[in-house]
Amino acid sequence: MSDGAPIYDPYAKGPPAQSPDGAPTGPARTSALAIWALVLAVLGFTCIPAIGGLFALTLGIVAKGEINRSEGALTGSGLAIGGAVLGGLNVIASVLGLAAVLSWAGSPSPVTTPTPPVPVVAPAPVPTFLPPTPTPPSPAPKGAGPASSRQGGVIATKVGKVDLVDLDRELTSLSRELESQRKTAAHDGKKLLLWVVVDDCLPCNGVAASLPATEMQTALESVRVVRVNARDFGQDLTFLGIPVAKVPGFALVGDGNRPLDYVNGGEWDEDIARNIAPVLGNFVRGRYAKRRDPWRGPRREDETAL
């Protein structure tokens, strides 16, 4: 018997049965929006980043509101929240990734500091030398004082403690003058250092400008420096076995004007005193072993290679 309330057939089609206060009494169903929110959140991390996450976040929020309004007819609140959270994380990760890519693409390429090149040594002319054109003797330099003297193509100068002798094209015999200078050096207890230069040679000028420096004074105090121009005495120097292919060049001269050892300006970098002095100081004292350009020994034009 019924008390007057309608009796619903559970197998009949139509809206779910409701209690007298309007709440549904049938089985609850999972919200489709919540399911899709979770699916799109997963796809956002695999196939469709950013877009999948954005849709998952939106559907998750909508599904959560729909479930709350259904008064128990819909379930899947956890799916909706999970989809919204994962979607939000996917959006944040996608934005950060895009920002990183744009920042990397817009940043300038790193500039690689080039390795300083080995200074180029001014080359001397190929040893096919023409006889120099005779020129009238130059007058003695004004204001030179007792530190400088000139006679027959020989200019002797005192640069601090360094004895510097310049030989020019007025000489009738380079070999004879070198022998004389070597004897003078030996009398003073010094060695003879032959310095080979050419005109307009920046490394040669760098060495000359460094001579007054304390380091150079100490480095060259045990030698008598004789400076010659390879363009004036190229044939003579080549015959003596002294290289003229690179300048500035330095040769320690022994008996018979034979070079005992030789280095050139490629042994140091910038042509300043603190770079030049250690090389020449060790060289004239026979202690310069590790070299960039090892010298193979003298060879005259009249010698036959073994």
DSSP string, 200-219: T-HHHHHHHHHTTSHHHHHH
| Domain range for 241 | 147-284
44-85 pLDDT, tens digit each:
888 888 888 888 889 889 988 888 888 888 888 888 898 889
pLDDT at res. 4: 55
Does this model's pTM top 0.75? Answer: no
Extract the tokens encoding 177: 């003058």
Is 90 exceeded by the pLDDT of residue 27? no
Number of domains making up the chain: 2
137-192 pLDDT, tens digit each:
444 444 444 455 556 789 999 999 999 999 988 888 899 999 999 999 999 999 99
Type and span of the H or E element at 192: strand 191-197
Is 90 exceeded by the pLDDT of residue 205? yes
In a domain, 5, yes or no: no
Q: Alpha-carbon distance 150 to 156, whole Å? A: 6
Q: Alpha-carbon distance 94 to 97, whole Å? A: 5
Closest to 223 in 3D by CA, of 260, 248, 192: 192
pLDDT at res. 11: 52
Considering the domain architecture, whether residues 267 and 175 belong to the same structural domain is answered as: yes
Bigger pLDDT: 148 vs 1: 148
pLDDT at res. 298: 78
Q: What's the whole-number mean pLDDT along residues 283-292?
A: 93
Q: What's the whole-number mean pLDDT along residues 120-140?
A: 39
Considering the domain architecture, whether residues 39 and 153 belong to the same structural domain is answered as: no
What average pLDDT is seen over the chain?
79
In a domain, 272, yes or no: yes
User: Buried b / exposed e across 11-43, counting CB within 10 Å, b at 16+?
Assistant: eeeeeeeeeeeeebeeeeeebebbbbbbbbbbb
In a domain, 268, yes or no: yes
Considering the domain architecture, whether residues 173 and 260 belong to the same structural domain is answered as: yes
CATH number at residue 242: 3.40.30.10
Domain final position from 103, 128, 161: 103
Considering the domain architecture, whether residues 77 and 173 belong to the same structural domain is answered as: no
